[in-house]
Structure 1
Amino acid sequence: MRQCDAQGYYSGYANMGANPDQDTSEQSFLRGTQLANDNGIVTFDTIDPGWYRGRARHIHYKVFLGRKTILTSQIFFPDALSEYVYLKFPAYTHDEERDTANPLA
């Protein structure tokens, strides 16, 4: 699992997001690996992801079988929920308007 924080920054990168001076290359927040239980179920707790220019709000994930990747995908969120989060919670406030909506909304 990998996702950005409330302001749209990923750990492990420099010069990305709304503030090009933000450098998270030495950090590893909001990344993780979980092992499935005997029923193949995985759970994790995280925060609501923020957004960054050119992308709808999302969480990345990969499913591995042994050392072989069998699935790489993303979880997207309904735009109505995104708007609620952006308006209700100050940590998600940006100086600019979101430019990309959920492609499936």
Structure 2
Amino acid sequence: MPELTEEQKRDFEAAAFRRLVAHLRERTDVQNIDLMNLAGFCRNCLSNWYREAAEAAGASLSKDESREIVYGMPYADWQALHQTEASDTKKAAFEASRPKDH
């Protein structure tokens, strides 16, 4: 494995994050509950992690602001445009594997 500088690591990680966020913005058919049930994280988790990183660096972001960064629009708008009602099966799967911080 090549030796990467800390700056390169940061830049590559940031690029990968931007690509993941862009991908999730395009895949509006994939619901957050689907992501949670399959991967244990969702768009809201990403926005929370982003906000936590900002706060650790001394920058203040609200929950709504960090969600808008991830969703590309206000969360309420995304919900109205793309969120569907989860089936009872999906809800049960989520409750069975729900992380303690959700």
TM-score, normalised with respect to structure 1 = 0.22
More strand by share: 1
More helix by share: 2
